[in-house]
């Protein structure tokens, strides 16, 4: 097993792709989608009439695409509106949209209509925070009203010149887009391609391999192949099966050959620990229903603690709904990307 972190930038089945391997295990994967408007795209669209009972309105987007916007207060039908694609949608459904735009780079995020200067909490050194606060203040001096700024964790090891340049670039882009309200539906800011997104969002690795064949050298191809089959081996000999349906994602946990009294608990804990990564890499979201392996009911609190710990790093995109009357566990996960099987179809 290769120790440390590796970012591999390559092509997979003719598409630009990026992978983050940590200690020989695939942790993050980005593959270019064929969609005209992938998540994070910023567009100028035209607002339709509110839809009764749905709490929002459809928006006409570039290329004849359609999106659905829930934040319509103060907006009139037929007006142009700046929106950002918030995630992926099921085939035949409108794209989820938001008017809360984020202009994001590796070091700076400019936030229209969310004023304030903020620094990543992961930066704890007070001297560094003071220097960054001064850079933020200088970089946003005289900015358009309502613009906010977030300095990201990557700023901790970057030079003042690089950070200042990034702030200036993102501020200029933001102000230009906010002023571009007239005209037919149009893409104003493209979503980042995988190689750019990896540079922007992933931590600096121990090794960066951006030459052709990097996926093969670091075992990325084999890891992707494993994501394309339903069965996932678990530590301890058990396995789980992840099967997407139209209504939900079904997860079945099995103990395998282990018939000991503790087999169910061990398999369930192993499944809880592995599931967040599997859902993320497979691009699966929506309602998730977990059929756990048999276990003693007095051990339920142990499973709940394991579930909470496993999904803590996933942030606000996860809602742990709890147990059903039949003893299954339910959760929801934001559809932040298209399922891997559809991307590669």
Are 4 and 206 contacting, i.e. CB atoms less than 8 angstroms apart? yes
Q: Which regions of the chain carry the CATH code 3.30.420?
A: 1-32+193-227
CATH number among 3.30.1370, 2.40.50, 1.20.1250, 1.20.1640, domain 42-98: 2.40.50
Interval 333-342: pLDDT, tens: 988 889 999 9
What's the confidence (pLDDT) of residue 261? 85
Helix, strand, coil % in the chain, rounded to nearest 5: 30, 30, 40
Helix (H) or strand (E) holding 130: helix 126-139
User: How many Cβ atoms from other residues are within 10 Å of residue 239's Cβ?
Assistant: 19
What's the confidence (pLDDT) of residue 53? 76
This prediction has a pTM of 0.90
What's the confidence (pLDDT) of residue 1? 59
Interval 274-302: pLDDT, tens: 999 999 999 999 999 999 999 998 999 99
User: How many Cβ atoms from other residues are within 10 Å of residue 64's Cβ?
Assistant: 8
What residues form DSSP beta bridges with 117?
A: 149
Q: Which regions of the chain carry the CATH code 3.40.630?
A: 230-343
Task: Report the candidate in 58, 56, 59, 29 with the shortest Cα–Cα distance to residue 46.
Answer: 59
What is the C-alpha separation between 302 and 108, in angstroms, rounded? 40
Could you tell me which CATH class the domain 230-343 is placed in? alpha beta
Q: pLDDT per position in the chain (345 positions), as tens?
A: 578 999 999 999 999 999 999 999 999 999 998 878 999 999 999 999 888 878 899 999 999 999 999 988 888 999 999 999 998 877 778 999 999 999 999 999 999 999 999 999 999 999 999 999 999 999 999 998 899 999 999 999 999 999 999 999 999 999 999 999 999 999 999 999 999 999 999 999 999 999 999 999 999 999 999 999 999 999 989 999 999 998 999 999 999 888 888 999 999 999 999 999 999 999 999 999 999 999 998 999 999 999 999 998 887 689 999 999 999 999 999 888 899 999 998
Residue 67 backbone phi and psi in degrees, to 5? -130, 170
Are 244 and 339 contacting, i.e. CB atoms less than 8 angstroms apart? yes
Q: What angle do CA 299, 302, 307 make, to 5 degrees?
A: 130
Q: Which regions of the chain carry the CATH code 3.30.230?
A: 103-192
What's the confidence (pLDDT) of residue 161? 97
Q: Which regions of the chain carry the CATH code 2.40.50?
A: 42-98
CATH number among 3.30.70, 3.30.420, 2.40.50, 3.30.450, domain 1-32+193-227: 3.30.420
End-to-end CA, the chain: 31
What's the confidence (pLDDT) of residue 142? 93
CATH assignment of 103-192?
3.30.230
Positive or negative: CA dihedral 141, 147, 150, 154 = negative
């Amino acid at each position: 097993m290769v120790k440390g972190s590796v970012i591999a930038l390559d092509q997979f089945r003719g598409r630009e792709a990026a992978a983050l391997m940590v200690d020989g295990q695939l942790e993050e994967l980005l593959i270019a989608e064929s969609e005209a408007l992938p998540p994070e795209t910023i567009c100028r669209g035209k607002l339709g009439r509110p839809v009764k009972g749905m709490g929002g309105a459809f928006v006409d987007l570039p290329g004849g695409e359609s999106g659905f916007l829930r934040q319509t207060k103060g907006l009139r039908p037929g007006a142009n509106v700046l929106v950002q694609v918030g995630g992926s949608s099921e085939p035949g459904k409108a794209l989820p949209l938001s008017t809360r735009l984020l202009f994001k780079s590796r070091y700076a995020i400019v936030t229209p209509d969310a004023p304030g200067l903020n620094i990543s909490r992961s930066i704890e050194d007070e001297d560094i925070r003071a220097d960054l606060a001064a850079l933020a203040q200088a970089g946003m001096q005289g900015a358009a009203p309502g613009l906010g700024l977030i300095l990201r964790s990557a700023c901790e090891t970057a030079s003042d010149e690089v950070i200042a340049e990034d702030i200036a670039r993102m501020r200029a882009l933001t102000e230009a887009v906010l002023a571009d309200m007239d005209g037919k539906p149009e893409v104003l800011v493209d979503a980042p391609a995988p190689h750019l997104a990896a540079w922007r969002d992933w931590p600096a690795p121990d090794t960066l391999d951006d030459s052709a064949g990097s996926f093969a050298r670091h075992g990325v191809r084999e890891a992707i192949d494993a994501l394309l089959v339903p069965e996932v081996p678990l530590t301890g000999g058990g396995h789980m099966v992840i099967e997407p349906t139209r209504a939900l994602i079904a997860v079945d946990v099995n103990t395998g050959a282990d018939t000991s009294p503790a087999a169910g608990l061990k398999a369930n804990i192993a499944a809880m620990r592995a599931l967040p990564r599997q859902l993320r890499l497979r691009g699966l979201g929506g309602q998730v229903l977990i059929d756990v392996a048999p276990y003693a009911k007095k051990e339920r609190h142990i499973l709940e603690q394991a579930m909470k710990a496993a999904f803590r790093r996933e942030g606000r995109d996860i809602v742990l709904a709890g147990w059903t009357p039949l003893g299954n566990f339910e959760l929801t996960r934001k559809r932040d990307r298209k399922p891997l099987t559809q991307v590669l179809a």
